[in-house]
Amino acid sequence: MSEYVIDDREMPRFRVNRQAMVDPDVFAKERDRIFEHSWLYLGHETELRKKNDFTTRTVAGRPLIFARDNEGNIRVWVNSCPHRGAMLCREPRGNARFLTCFYHGWSFSTAGEMVAMPGDEAYGEDFERPDLAAPPKVDSYRGFVFVSFDPDIVDLKTYLAGATEYLDLVCDQSELGMEVLSGTHEYSVKANWKLLVENSVDGYHAVSTHQRYFEMVLAARGKLDPSALGASRGIDLGNGHAVIAGEPATEDLFGRPLSEAGAQERADRYARFRELYGDGWVERMQGTRNMVIFPNLIVIDLVMGVVIRKIDPVTPDYLEVSAWELAPPDEGDELRKQRLDNFLTFWGPGGLASPDDVEALETCQVGYGGRKELGWSDISRGMNGSVNSSTDEFQMRTWWRRWNELITGEQLPPEEQAPLDGVFVAPRRSPDHAESAV
């Protein structure tokens, strides 16, 4: 039996040992057994709009350069000069034909090839001029670029498993492909990284934690009718990935109301998508989804915007977050303006949701100081039924079982759930999109 997870199907009860949130040894095991052997999100292709664009990222503790070379190909390099290790790119983003180390002047193309070495003659004719180093695996799906440091890992699409279907529901919202809007929301939380994973797929906390947001919505709309919400389900997508998927509401509930012009444009867009993909797929598209792609990528399609959230563990009690908004590049100015307003009001750094979540997670981490007296967190909600909803914790348990398997070797059986039906299984009529070539 795992020392970190109790999965009692008879009671039923699911508990997680709070030691997993504070122990440096657990954190070291996560780095070695999870982050060294998973596909990890790096960035979106649309962040690199021009040849020789680059941005810098940290993935699994490694500094990386995410670039588009002079031929327009996506490239990923370790952000370290092969000479003495200095970072090649110290700026967060830019455009440059050559990546030159400021320390000794070694220079490389965005394709990773060495182009200049000051005092080259001092090395001799047979000296092997090094190129830049790359992660063993780089691949993408629908513009989402991932890396893995495990050369023997399964291919990306196999790893993503059922998550590909929900990425398709996001990416099909534009015939041109979705784009990441300029600007990055970067923040930190004094809490364990797994708490933000849980929070991102937790519908149970919404009303109590985000009361101010719902008060704003009520003031803006004059009413707030929960009965307009459709059904929702937590769904196991395989390999530790999970999603809360919601049916479309019978009327808009969240955010400030769209203008007449904005509402009409949105309706026209969905009418076009029905022609392309069929009614059932578009009905699913009009619903909501909070998805975690194991271990640390969150994609949330809710409140007039799609959030891409990359969670980076730094220490057992400190994490950093990078978040972006994904949007259709072909929507009109009016709808884009209202999308941004609603998105920032909820998700932004001064919004009515993200700061609440940070506060909640940091109080949890403080509370773990009493773990000798209260040693276990409970994640049992919904275990007593076969049809869960967004306020249950099925999706968190799905993630934790995969975590537990990788950390301890113990493989716990999945929970039995009633088969999905209706809008949750409506197929996409048109052929699948091909993945982007990296």
Once rounded to an integer, what is the mean pLDDT over residues 286-301? Answer: 97
* Position 8 confidence tier, pLDDT thresholds 50, 70, 90: very high
How many whole angstroms from its chain centre is CA 337?
A: 24
CA dihedral for 262, 263, 264, 270, sign (positive or negative): positive
Q: Do domains 40-140 and 163-425 have the same CATH topology?
A: no
* pLDDT tens digits along 403-438: 999 999 999 999 999 999 999 999 998 755 544 445
Map out the domains of the chain as residue ranges: 40-140, 163-425
**Which is more confidently placed, 252 or 32?**
32
- Render 273-314 in DSSP notation, one character per residue: HHHHH-HHHHHHHTSEEEEEETTTEEEEE-SSSEEEEEEEEE
The predicted structure's pLDDT at residue 434? 47
- In this predicted structure, what is the pLDDT of residue 221? 83
Q: pLDDT by residue (tens digit) across 65-91?
A: 999 999 999 999 999 999 999 999 999
Pair of tokens at residue 374: 């209260």
Match domain 40-140 to its CATH number in 3.40.50.720, 3.90.700.10, 3.50.50.60, 2.102.10.10.
2.102.10.10
CA angle 297, 433, 339 (to 5 degrees): 55
Higher pLDDT, residue 373 or 215? 373
Mean pLDDT of 315-325: 97
Can you give the pTM of this predicted structure? 0.95
Burial class of 28 by CB neighbour count within 10 A (0 to 12, 13 to 18, 19+): exposed
Angle between the 193-200 and 354-367 helix axes, to the nearest 10 degrees? 130
The CATH code for residues 163-425 is 3.90.380.10
Q: List, for residues 90-146, the tens digit of each pLDDT value.
A: 999 999 999 999 999 999 999 999 999 999 999 988 999 999 999 999 999 999 999
Q: What is the DSSP string of 239-255?
A: TTEEEEEEPPPSS--SS
